[in-house]
Amino acid sequence: MTSVDTKSVHTAGMEERTIRPKVMPIYQTSAFSFSSLEELEGYYEGNGTYLYTRTANPNTDALGQTVAQLEGAPKGVAASSGMSAILAGILSVAEAGDHILAAEDVYGGTFHLLKEELRRLGITVHFADFSESETIEQILVDFPEVKLMVSESITNPFLRIEDIEGLVQLKNQYGVKVMIDNTFATPYTFTPYTQGVDLVVHSATKYLGGHSDVTSGVLVGDPVLIEEATKRVVNLGMNLSPFEAWLTIRGIKTLALRMEKQNANAQAIADFLQDKARVWYPGKGAIVSFELPETADVSAFFSSLGWIKIVPTLAGVETTVSYPFGTSHRALSAEEKARIGVTERVVRLSAGIEGIEDILGQLEQAFN
């Protein structure tokens, strides 16, 4: 009779069954087993899907494909964070000796990655004001080594709406690729791939996950580039865990419901702030940025927001504020901050799903 030692290791429930759960299970396993050496060899010959979770897992595959479907793209890959997804996208196009052209007003973490880390890999990055198409085109003329243009559909934190059509025209004219971070807009608002963009990236930590309880990223787009990006995710260990992928997919199920309420709240907040501060709000999305008056006590304002939390992130169901000068854009030099307008008085607000009168009441309290 089999000993307790063996029985406790080989637990029940692993036999083949025909089970159809309503929700996809979590494949919380580091590896997958094979019944024979022939079956194992078949995997390497292309007849199998799963070997080791770093290379692929049903949950991470499902997340990549889910976001691809939302974006109208053929293929996607999940990664351990938005920054991992951005790096995988860049490395699917560029290598040492190549150049990248990026908007100067991208998220501070992206700016640091492009400016500092890519330099270590031998990739040169040019930053430009992407609101000036002539400036972009001149760089493409002067530097034919440019392989990729990088921007955001709605920029962070000043919410500039990128001219996607203009970038795609330049892409076609000069033979470069375009990658757009669509985190702020989400597929609920805009789908860059359907407009001719090659790669679309998400910090799925934000609106896709939606509940501030997961860190994940997704890259979708051209299938050839996604294949290359997937190699980078696997070989550089940027893969996402099955549980994190499962949580993100669970969040995506309510994306449309959340965005409808959060967008409406953001519009009401922007209207409320018009006579109190300088406001940036493009009429879409759930982020409102504003600059407090020069006479304001910035510290007192932040301390008076009550249940509106101060956090270095965004997009949860709770209304929150962040301080770009001291968090997301902290690594920028004083000159770089000044050039894009990040001052000590800039506040980035992420609208939640609370009752709008309650949100406005907290803001009124802080302004008072």
Q: What is the average pLDDT across 219-237?
A: 98
What is the spatial distance between Cα 147 and Cα 123, in angstroms, rounded to a whole number? 10
CATH number of the domain that residue 229 is part of: 3.40.640.10
Q: Are residues 245 and 262 in the same domain?
A: no
Whether 1 shows a pLDDT value over 60: the answer reads no
> Could you give the number of structural domains in the chain?
2
Q: Quick one: pLDDT at residue 18?
A: 79
Q: Given 222, 252, 282, which residue is the final one in a domain? A: 252
Q: What is the average pLDDT across 18-23?
A: 87
Q: Are residues 127 and 61 in the same domain?
A: yes
Q: Are residues 323 and 244 in the same domain?
A: no
Percent of the chain with pLDDT over 70: 98
Residue 240 belongs to domain spanning: 37-252
Indicate the angle between helix axes 164-174 and 133-142, nearest 10 degrees: 20
For residue 19, being part of any structural domain is answered with: no
CA 265 to chain centre: 22
Whether 335 shows a pLDDT value over 80: the answer reads yes
Q: Quick one: pLDDT at residue 50?
A: 96
Q: What is the average pLDDT across 213-231?
A: 98
Global pTM reads 0.95
Whether 40 shows a pLDDT value over 80: the answer reads yes
Q: What is the average pLDDT across 230-251?
A: 98
Q: How confident is the model at residue 331 (pLDDT cuts 50, 70, 90)?
A: confident
For residue 295, being part of any structural domain is answered with: yes
CA 74 to chain centre: 18
45: tokens are 């010959």
Q: In this predicted model, what pLDDT tens digit does every residue of 115-157 receive, in sequence order? A: 999 999 999 999 999 999 999 999 999 999 999 999 999 999 9
For residue 6, being part of any structural domain is answered with: no
Q: Given 207, 233, 252, which residue is the final one in a domain? A: 252
Whether 160 shows a pLDDT value over 70: the answer reads yes
Q: Are residues 169 and 300 in the same domain?
A: no
Q: Are residues 245 and 334 in the same domain?
A: no
Q: In this predicted model, what pLDDT tens digit does every residue of 52-110 receive, in sequence order? A: 999 999 999 999 999 999 999 999 999 999 999 999 999 999 999 999 999 999 999 99
What is the spatial distance between Cα 115 and Cα 129, in angstroms, rounded to a whole number? 15
Q: Quick one: pLDDT at residue 166?
A: 97
CATH number of the domain that residue 344 is part of: 3.90.1150.10
Q: Are residues 219 and 75 in the same domain?
A: yes
Q: Quick one: pLDDT at residue 281?
A: 98
Q: Are residues 218 and 263 in the same domain?
A: no
Q: Are residues 193 and 52 in the same domain?
A: yes
Q: Are residues 220 and 290 in the same domain?
A: no
Q: Given 231, 252, 273, which residue is the final one in a domain? A: 252
Q: Quick one: pLDDT at residue 14?
A: 64
For residue 111, being part of any structural domain is answered with: yes
**Average pLDDT value over all residues in the chain:** 95
Which of helix, strand or coil describes residue 118? helix
Q: How confident is the model at residue 7 (pLDDT cuts 50, 70, 90)?
A: confident
Q: Are residues 203 and 65 in the same domain?
A: yes
φ, ψ of residue 202 to 5 degrees: the values are: -135, 135
Query: Beta strands 217-221 and 75-79: pairing type?
Result: antiparallel
Whether 13 shows a pLDDT value over 60: the answer reads yes
Q: In this predicted model, what pLDDT tens digit does every residue of 251-304 receive, in sequence order? A: 999 999 999 999 999 999 999 999 999 999 999 999 999 999 999 999 999 999
